[in-house]
Amino acid sequence: MTFHITIDGRPVPVTPGQTIGAALHAAGVRSWRSTRFGGRPRGLFCGIGVCFDCLISVNGRAPERACLVEAAPGDEVTTS
């Protein structure tokens, strides 16, 4: 049942129904973005689409909230 997505080319397992943010967090990837000014690492914070800390690029699209986007097989996510 498990499938994979990749983050910067590395495979991350996903249980169907999980969001991209949840799959990354579960795989021990807890930050995937640096802030503009301080270069601070950021990942999940509110987990429900409110805080925008978990922004991530999926398949080259503009940033989305990782906590809201359901992971699909083969999704390629890239950190910034």
Partner 1 sequence: MTYDLVVIGGGPAGVAGALTAAQAGLRVALVDSAMRLGGQYFRHSADPRPAPGLDRFLRLARALDSRADLLLRHQVWSLTRGPDGDLTVHCTAPDRTALPVAARRVLIATGAHDRPLPFPGWDLPGVLTAGGAQALLKGNDVVAGRRIVVAGTGPFLLPVASGLAGAGARVLGVFEANGGLGLARHPLLALGKAGEAAGYAADLVRHRVPYRTRRAVVAAHGEREVEAVTVARLDKDWNVLATRVLECDTVAVGYGFVPQIDLGVQLGCATRHDVDGSPVLAVDAGQRTSVAGVWAAGEPTGVGGWRLSELEGRIAGQVIAADWRAHGGEAGAGAVAGVLLRRRERWRAFGEALQRAYPVQPGWQSWLRDDTLVCRCEEVPLARVREAQSLGATDARSIKLLARPGMGWCQGRICGYAVSCLAGEPPQPPRRPIAQPVTLGALADLTDDPTVQ
Positions in the binding site for partner 1 (CB under 8 A): 15, 17-19, 22-23, 25-26, 30-31, 35-38, 40-53, 55, 67-68, 70
Torsion over CA: 55, 60, 79, 70 (sign):
positive
- The CB-of-28 to partner 1 minimum distance in angstroms stands at 10
State the minimum distance, in angstroms, from the CB of residue 76 to partner 1: 18
Radius of gyration of the chain, Cα coordinates, nearest whole angstrom: 12
Closest to partner 1 by CB, 4 vs 43, is 43
Q: Provide the phi-psi class of 3: left if phi over 0, else alpha when psi is between -120 and 50, else beta.
A: beta
